[in-house]
Structure 1
């Protein structure tokens, strides 16, 4: 009898203890998951912001390589040069057109988050002005105010790589894209392809629009050169190559793998 009472007493006493242990264990698990999510989000934001910075550098280099501007900014550059409008302001206006086309292509797949491309465009326009001014201040001491041919080629190569890598990093983090990259992603999905081919398609369209606008408004082509034509093909291929090499590790680091970027197809992201 005594043994039974002792055993029953032990069970009664151990139940709250067991419940407390379970709660402590669950709380520790939540804290661990929270720490993982916080670390993943920090990495995600870090990759995203680095991508924005790299993209801004790439766009700036394209305007200073003197071999023709990057295809994606060629309409804004043409408008800026023909009508003497601030390049950042012209870029903002063209980006609004890109957003409109993107939303039309996405249809019901358009997210509320995509509306943040408007303030993104504003901030990015200021960044372009800042980097352009910084480059111009450094150009004379570095001998890049009148670059030799090999320097122009280096600047063009840097522009292609930075633009492609920056765009791929931004889109991979599935946050707010730049309007051109959002439109490129939407175009790629609409064609059943990935960001790389979408980028190539948008670049070709931008060059056609720029040339047409220049001929109609100025009677001559502005900003389009051999570098523009090279970038028209090379940037999209750079995006595809970078995604093939780095998309999975980047998204794993950001806690996003195996899910695909919004509106993309995993098995087509490298094309």
Structure 2
């Protein structure tokens, strides 16, 4: 069986699902730290606070908007399978709920250093998840899909565009929260750290993997 012109192997499926799960584990660590949500969930969470809608509905709206941006950027290179990114959010939401429930077994952060350590773990798991699932070229989350689209159009490295986009998402969440709620809402120091360092961490994971295995993983393949 083929998908995206490549054989849909068990390894590709495993890397895809495992990568998505690692990202949600990172999101769960960010929530547990209480230092701000992960960048990937900052805008949907802000939307849910502002308009009193469920986080799942907010996530659906946000993902649909990003898919529209992809369509505008890629034009003829936009593939029908990319519309499925909106529905991958359902799987992502289920994984997020499960990962958050796993955090119940971990005591709350007793001090700032422990909370900061949880934020660092959040960054690592999100970056590692991206490294596993993005190159499978199955169906990316729309956040990574639009990152790939911008990287392709601008001819810039995926890791660099990831940093720029995360900063843009966090800044937008901060503006929305401040204008409509009068506070920082979903944004905290952990959110800012995630926006600054997830993309960079992906780059170093890529370099370490290339040095160990000799394989250059394509993070812009769509």
Tell me the TM-score normalized by structure 1.
0.72
Quote the residue 2:107 is aligned against: 143
How many pairs does the alignment contain? 217
Quote the residue 1:16 is aligned against: none
Correspondence list, 1:186-225, <5 A: 186-225=149-188
Question: Aligned equivalents of 1:68 and 1:258: distance in 2?
Answer: 31
Q: Indicate whether 1:51 and 2:14 are aligned.
A: no
Unaligned runs of 5+ in 2: 1-5
Correspondence list, 1:117-136, <5 A: 117-135=85-103
Bigger shift: 228-237 or 114-123?
A: 114-123
Query: How far 1:107 sits from its partner (Å)?
Result: 1.6
Unaligned runs of 5+ in 1: 1-36, 264-271
Query: How far 1:177 sits from its partner (Å)?
Result: 0.5
Q: Which has the higher contact order (CA 8 A, sep 6+)?
A: 2
Correspondence list, 1:84-233, <5 A: 84-135=52-103, 137-138=104-105, 142-144=106-108, 146-233=109-196
Question: Aligned equivalents of 1:123 and 1:114: distance in 2?
Answer: 15
Correspondence list, 1:70-89, <5 A: 70-89=38-57
Quote the residue 1:239 is aligned against: 202
User: Runs (4+) of structure 1 moved beyond 4 Å?
Assistant: 247-252, 257-261
Q: State which structure, 1 or 2, has the greater radius of gyration over its C-alpha atoms.
A: 1
- The 1:155–1:260 alpha-carbon spacing in structure 2 relative to 1, beyond 3 Å, is closer
Query: How far 1:193 sits from its partner (Å)?
Result: 0.9
